[in-house]
A and B are shown apart, each in its own frame.
Chain A
Amino acid sequence: MIVDLLILTALLIFVLGAAMKRDTVKAAIALALASIMLSVLMFRLASPLAAVFELSVCAGLITVVFMSTISLTKPLTVLEEERLHLRGRHFAVLPILVLAAAGLLVMVGIPTDLALPQAASAQDVRSVLWNERQLDLLGETLVILAGFFGILVLFKDKPTGVGRTGAAWLKAERFRKEKSDETTKVESNQPDPAIRV
């Protein structure tokens, strides 16, 4: 009971860190730590398979995806970073809001005297997944396929700007166009050597 309370408190602290941290890399790391705490909690709540999935996918794969995204989309200037975090001061009220919500929940409370259904006989997760939740598995497969094609389309190379990011590519193109315009202007002003005056 005390252990569960400590794990839940750590989970809440890491989640607050993920929401409030100014540096997005540190926020992603805090989210990964929150996933680890959630995984430990799931083990304690008799859900080991779900805990393993949470640990490997959320704490592992999703953190890697976040790090890749952050590295590819790092704010280009210090000014951009400052502007994006202008709303950072609004996050200062988040711990106060969380404490107020906690106080309200402790005082009012959500009723827990539920009329529970009869406990089912012990079942294996694999038999439930393959026998009872077949449509879920089909849906998962379709979602994974849709995600795969979505990412292929999103990361398709531009025909001319291979290997460049949008902004740098546009700048390079504009510079090249100006240079070629200047060269054309200089060439057109030169007298034709074939014509003799």
Chain B
Amino acid sequence: MNNQTAEVLRMMTIFIPLLFVVGFFCVVVTRNLVRTLIGIEVLSKAVTLLLVVAGYTTGRTALAQACVITLIMIEAVVVAVAAGIIVNVVRHTDSLDRRNLEELRG
């Protein structure tokens, strides 16, 4: 590993866990369903960056990019379906609060 790669890796080992911290905090603390989805997106970004850095560090950028493309495609579908679920939840419960889903009433 050359010096530049080592420096990049050292920087990323600080920033990527911070992205995970923000994502987890957002998902756990908020009661707003849209904000929960934003938290999941942040976690996704952290994983994407981790994959790219792993590819850059090991010299296997092609494999890393293939994995990232797969991840992004699936993430887009997950967000679209989750958005549909949120819209339906609002139609049924008239609220974005996740506590309304705790009793599992049909």
A residues at B contact (CB < 8 Å): 1, 4-5, 8, 11-12, 15-16, 18-19, 24, 27-28, 31, 34-35, 38, 41-42, 45-47, 49-50, 53-54, 57-58, 61-62, 65-66, 68-70, 72-73, 75-76, 80, 83-87, 90-91, 94, 97-98, 101-102, 105-106, 109-110, 112, 114, 116-117, 119-120, 122-125, 127-129, 132-133, 136-137, 139-140, 143-144, 146-147, 150-151, 154-155, 165-167
Say yes or no: A31-B81 contact (C-beta < 8 A), given A47-B52, A98-B22, A167-B94. Answer: no
For residue A84, give the distance in angstroms from its CB to the closest CB of chain B: 5
What residue in chain B is nearest A94 (Cβ atoms)?
A: B25
**CA of A31 to CA of B45 in the docked complex: distance in angstroms?**
10
For residue B97, give the distance in angstroms from its CB to the closest CB of chain A: 6
- Chain B residues within 8 Å of chain A by Cβ, number: 76
Is B102 part of the contact surface with A, judged by Cβ < 8 Å? no
**CA of A66 to CA of B57 in the docked complex: distance in angstroms?**
33
**What sequence of 0s and 1s flags, for each residue 7-23 of chain B, a beta carbon within 8 Å of any chain A beta carbon?**
11111111101110111
* Total A-B Cβ pairs within 8 A: 241
Once the chains bind, are B57 and A116 in contact (CB under 8 Å)?
yes
For residue B92, give the distance in angstroms from its CB to the closest CB of chain A: 6
Q: Which residues of chain B are near A151, meaning CB under 8 Å?
A: 80-81, 84
Once the chains bind, are B42 and A15 in contact (CB under 8 Å)?
yes
Say yes or no: A140-B74 contact (C-beta < 8 A), given A45-B56, A47-B55, A154-B81. Answer: yes
Once the chains bind, are A5 and B87 in contact (CB under 8 Å)?
no
Once the chains bind, are A46 and B74 in contact (CB under 8 Å)?
no
Say yes or no: A19-B11 contact (C-beta < 8 A), given A91-B29, A94-B22, A151-B81. Answer: no
**CA of A70 to CA of B35 in the docked complex: distance in angstroms?**
10
Once the chains bind, are A34 and B10 in contact (CB under 8 Å)?
no
Once the chains bind, are A31 and B42 in contact (CB under 8 Å)?
yes
